Copies of this chain bind each other. A is one copy, B any other.
Amino acid sequence: MKGVILLNGEPYKGEIDDTNALVFCADGAYNWAKGRVRIDENLGDFDSAAEIPFPRPAEIFPSEKNETDGEIALEKMLALAEEKGITRIELYGGGGGREDHFLGNLHLLYRACRAGMPCEMITDSALLSVHTGKFSLKNILGKTVSLLPFGGAAHIINNRGLFYPTDDLTLCYGSCRGISNVGVNENAEIDCDRGVLLVAINKEKDVKNHLFEAAEGDSADSAPV
Protein backbone atom coordinates (compact mmCIF):
# COMPACT_ATOMS: atom_id res chain seq x y z
CA MET A 1 0.00 0.00 0.00
CA LYS A 2 1.00 3.62 -0.18
CA GLY A 3 1.25 6.26 2.49
CA VAL A 4 -0.34 9.68 2.05
CA ILE A 5 0.59 12.68 4.20
CA LEU A 6 -1.47 15.85 3.99
CA LEU A 7 0.57 18.94 4.81
CA ASN A 8 -0.36 22.38 5.97
CA GLY A 9 0.22 25.18 3.48
CA GLU A 10 -1.38 25.95 0.16
CA PRO A 11 -4.42 23.66 -0.22
CA TYR A 12 -3.89 20.97 -2.82
CA LYS A 13 -6.56 21.43 -5.49
CA GLY A 14 -6.36 18.08 -7.32
CA GLU A 15 -7.78 14.65 -6.59
CA ILE A 16 -6.16 12.49 -3.91
CA ASP A 17 -6.55 8.75 -4.33
CA ASP A 18 -6.98 7.22 -0.86
CA THR A 19 -7.56 3.66 -2.12
CA ASN A 20 -5.28 1.17 -0.39
CA ALA A 21 -3.56 4.01 1.38
CA LEU A 22 -2.74 4.94 4.96
CA VAL A 23 -3.61 8.64 5.20
CA PHE A 24 -2.06 10.91 7.84
CA CYS A 25 -3.14 14.52 8.18
CA ALA A 26 -0.66 16.97 9.71
CA ASP A 27 -2.20 19.74 11.80
CA GLY A 28 -3.79 22.55 9.78
CA ALA A 29 -3.94 20.47 6.61
CA TYR A 30 -7.25 19.36 8.10
CA ASN A 31 -8.66 22.76 7.18
CA TRP A 32 -8.30 22.05 3.45
CA ALA A 33 -8.48 18.25 3.42
CA LYS A 34 -11.53 17.36 5.51
CA GLY A 35 -14.32 15.82 3.47
CA ARG A 36 -12.06 15.53 0.42
CA VAL A 37 -10.05 12.47 1.38
CA ARG A 38 -10.35 9.75 4.01
CA ILE A 39 -8.12 10.55 6.98
CA ASP A 40 -6.89 7.61 9.03
CA GLU A 41 -5.02 9.62 11.63
CA ASN A 42 -4.57 13.26 12.55
CA LEU A 43 -1.21 14.24 14.00
CA GLY A 44 0.35 17.43 15.30
CA ASP A 45 -0.03 20.20 17.82
CA PHE A 46 -3.17 21.61 16.16
CA ASP A 47 -2.12 25.18 16.75
CA SER A 48 -3.03 25.78 13.10
CA ALA A 49 -6.31 23.83 13.07
CA ALA A 50 -9.62 25.68 13.21
CA GLU A 51 -11.33 22.79 15.02
CA ILE A 52 -10.51 19.50 16.73
CA PRO A 53 -10.29 17.14 13.79
CA PHE A 54 -11.96 13.80 13.18
CA PRO A 55 -10.73 11.17 13.82
CA ARG A 56 -9.70 12.70 17.12
CA PRO A 57 -5.91 12.77 17.51
CA ALA A 58 -4.54 10.05 19.79
CA GLU A 59 -2.05 12.61 21.09
CA ILE A 60 -1.78 16.40 20.92
CA PHE A 61 1.87 17.30 20.57
CA PRO A 62 3.17 20.43 22.29
CA SER A 63 3.47 23.45 20.00
CA GLU A 64 6.94 24.06 21.41
CA LYS A 65 8.78 21.14 19.92
CA ASN A 66 11.71 20.44 17.64
CA GLU A 67 9.78 18.80 14.82
CA THR A 68 7.27 20.17 12.36
CA ASP A 69 3.89 18.47 12.25
CA GLY A 70 4.73 17.10 8.81
CA GLU A 71 7.93 15.65 10.24
CA ILE A 72 6.01 13.92 13.03
CA ALA A 73 3.67 12.41 10.46
CA LEU A 74 6.53 11.24 8.24
CA GLU A 75 8.50 9.69 11.10
CA LYS A 76 5.44 7.78 12.27
CA MET A 77 4.73 6.57 8.76
CA LEU A 78 8.32 5.42 8.25
CA ALA A 79 8.15 3.59 11.58
CA LEU A 80 4.95 1.82 10.49
CA ALA A 81 6.06 1.14 6.92
CA GLU A 82 7.16 -2.45 7.37
CA GLU A 83 4.19 -3.45 9.51
CA LYS A 84 1.68 -1.83 7.13
CA GLY A 85 3.45 -2.78 3.91
CA ILE A 86 3.93 0.83 2.80
CA THR A 87 6.20 0.98 -0.23
CA ARG A 88 5.91 4.63 -1.21
CA ILE A 89 4.70 7.92 0.26
CA GLU A 90 2.95 10.88 -1.31
CA LEU A 91 2.95 14.34 0.30
CA TYR A 92 0.21 16.81 -0.63
CA GLY A 93 -0.23 20.51 0.08
CA GLY A 94 3.28 21.39 1.23
CA GLY A 95 3.95 24.19 -1.27
CA GLY A 96 2.94 27.80 -1.60
CA GLY A 97 2.71 30.69 0.80
CA ARG A 98 5.24 30.16 3.54
CA GLU A 99 8.52 29.51 1.80
CA ASP A 100 10.18 28.27 4.99
CA HIS A 101 7.62 25.50 5.40
CA PHE A 102 7.95 24.53 1.76
CA LEU A 103 11.72 24.32 2.19
CA GLY A 104 11.28 22.31 5.38
CA ASN A 105 9.01 19.93 3.51
CA LEU A 106 11.78 19.30 0.98
CA HIS A 107 13.78 17.95 3.90
CA LEU A 108 11.01 15.42 4.43
CA LEU A 109 11.68 14.17 0.90
CA TYR A 110 15.36 13.90 1.76
CA ARG A 111 14.60 12.09 5.02
CA ALA A 112 12.46 9.54 3.17
CA CYS A 113 15.13 9.10 0.49
CA ARG A 114 17.72 8.38 3.16
CA ALA A 115 15.35 5.77 4.62
CA GLY A 116 15.09 4.14 1.19
CA MET A 117 11.41 5.06 0.89
CA PRO A 118 10.24 6.45 -2.46
CA CYS A 119 8.51 9.72 -1.65
CA GLU A 120 7.02 12.46 -3.79
CA MET A 121 5.59 15.88 -2.98
CA ILE A 122 2.67 16.78 -5.20
CA THR A 123 1.84 20.46 -5.45
CA ASP A 124 -0.58 22.14 -7.82
CA SER A 125 2.22 22.91 -10.24
CA ALA A 126 4.87 20.21 -9.84
CA LEU A 127 5.96 16.81 -8.60
CA LEU A 128 9.05 17.01 -6.40
CA SER A 129 11.27 14.14 -5.30
CA VAL A 130 14.77 13.48 -4.00
CA HIS A 131 17.04 10.76 -5.39
CA THR A 132 20.46 9.20 -5.28
CA GLY A 133 22.04 6.71 -7.66
CA LYS A 134 20.15 5.40 -10.69
CA PHE A 135 16.48 6.28 -10.88
CA SER A 136 13.71 6.76 -13.37
CA LEU A 137 11.12 9.48 -13.91
CA LYS A 138 7.71 8.59 -15.38
CA ASN A 139 5.36 10.49 -17.66
CA ILE A 140 7.64 13.40 -18.48
CA LEU A 141 7.21 13.79 -22.24
CA GLY A 142 7.11 17.49 -23.11
CA LYS A 143 7.37 18.58 -19.50
CA THR A 144 9.99 20.75 -17.91
CA VAL A 145 12.23 18.68 -15.65
CA SER A 146 14.60 20.52 -13.34
CA LEU A 147 17.47 18.84 -11.54
CA LEU A 148 18.95 20.58 -8.51
CA PRO A 149 21.71 19.55 -6.16
CA PHE A 150 20.43 19.06 -2.63
CA GLY A 151 22.74 19.18 0.36
CA GLY A 152 25.94 19.58 -1.66
CA ALA A 153 27.20 19.23 -5.21
CA ALA A 154 25.71 16.35 -7.22
CA HIS A 155 27.38 14.55 -10.12
CA ILE A 156 25.33 13.07 -12.95
CA ILE A 157 26.91 10.42 -15.15
CA ASN A 158 24.24 10.73 -17.83
CA ASN A 159 20.52 10.63 -18.55
CA ARG A 160 18.24 8.99 -21.09
CA GLY A 161 15.03 10.75 -21.94
CA LEU A 162 15.91 14.40 -21.32
CA PHE A 163 16.66 16.84 -24.13
CA TYR A 164 19.85 18.28 -22.74
CA PRO A 165 22.68 15.87 -22.07
CA THR A 166 24.02 15.74 -18.55
CA ASP A 167 27.06 13.57 -19.23
CA ASP A 168 29.63 13.95 -16.49
CA LEU A 169 27.85 17.04 -15.22
CA THR A 170 28.38 18.35 -11.69
CA LEU A 171 25.56 20.51 -10.35
CA CYS A 172 26.98 22.94 -7.81
CA TYR A 173 25.44 25.22 -5.22
CA GLY A 174 25.28 28.78 -6.46
CA SER A 175 24.45 27.83 -10.06
CA CYS A 176 21.12 27.30 -11.84
CA ARG A 177 22.52 24.73 -14.25
CA GLY A 178 20.06 21.82 -14.32
CA ILE A 179 16.99 24.06 -14.26
CA SER A 180 14.55 23.57 -17.15
CA ASN A 181 15.60 20.43 -18.93
CA VAL A 182 12.82 18.92 -21.08
CA GLY A 183 11.46 15.38 -21.29
CA VAL A 184 11.73 13.91 -24.80
CA ASN A 185 10.58 10.39 -23.87
CA GLU A 186 7.68 9.12 -21.80
CA ASN A 187 10.18 8.18 -19.12
CA ALA A 188 13.74 9.17 -18.26
CA GLU A 189 16.59 7.30 -16.63
CA ILE A 190 19.10 9.31 -14.66
CA ASP A 191 22.34 8.09 -13.16
CA CYS A 192 23.71 10.21 -10.33
CA ASP A 193 26.81 8.73 -8.75
CA ARG A 194 27.63 11.47 -6.23
CA GLY A 195 25.42 13.64 -4.10
CA VAL A 196 21.67 13.97 -3.99
CA LEU A 197 19.31 15.32 -6.64
CA LEU A 198 16.10 17.22 -6.06
CA VAL A 199 13.90 16.73 -9.11
CA ALA A 200 10.98 18.99 -10.02
CA ILE A 201 8.69 17.88 -12.85
CA ASN A 202 6.27 20.61 -13.85
CA LYS A 203 2.82 19.12 -14.28
CA GLU A 204 1.82 20.89 -17.46
CA LYS A 205 3.46 20.34 -20.81
CA ASP A 206 5.27 23.47 -21.83
CA VAL A 207 3.30 24.46 -24.92
CA LYS A 208 5.74 27.27 -25.64
CA ASN A 209 8.61 24.85 -25.68
CA HIS A 210 8.76 22.60 -28.71
CA LEU A 211 12.08 21.10 -27.82
CA PHE A 212 10.48 17.83 -26.80
CA GLU A 213 9.65 17.26 -30.45
CA ALA A 214 13.34 17.29 -31.28
CA ALA A 215 15.08 14.01 -31.89
CA GLU A 216 17.38 12.77 -29.18
CA GLY A 217 21.00 13.40 -29.93
CA ASP A 218 20.14 16.65 -31.68
CA SER A 219 20.72 18.84 -28.70
CA ALA A 220 23.23 21.36 -27.53
CA ASP A 221 25.15 21.15 -24.30
CA SER A 222 22.90 23.56 -22.50
CA ALA A 223 19.43 23.91 -21.08
CA PRO A 224 16.68 26.37 -21.97
CA VAL A 225 15.93 28.65 -19.07
B-binding residues in A (CB < 8 A): 45, 47, 63-71, 95-104, 107-108, 110-111, 114, 123, 125-126, 128, 144, 146, 148-152, 173-177, 179-180, 196, 198, 200, 202, 208, 211, 220, 222-225
Contacts and interface: CB of A to CB of B under 8 A. Distances in A.
A79 to B, nearest CB: 15
Q: What is the copy number of this chain in the assembly? A: 2
A107 B68 contact: no
Contacts of A196: 173
B144 A100 contact: yes
Contacts of A222: 64-66
A80 to B, nearest CB: 19
B103 A66 contact: no
Given A65-B222, A99-B123, A100-B179, 7 more contacts: A64-B222, A66-B177, A67-B225, A100-B126, A103-B146, A104-B179, A149-B151
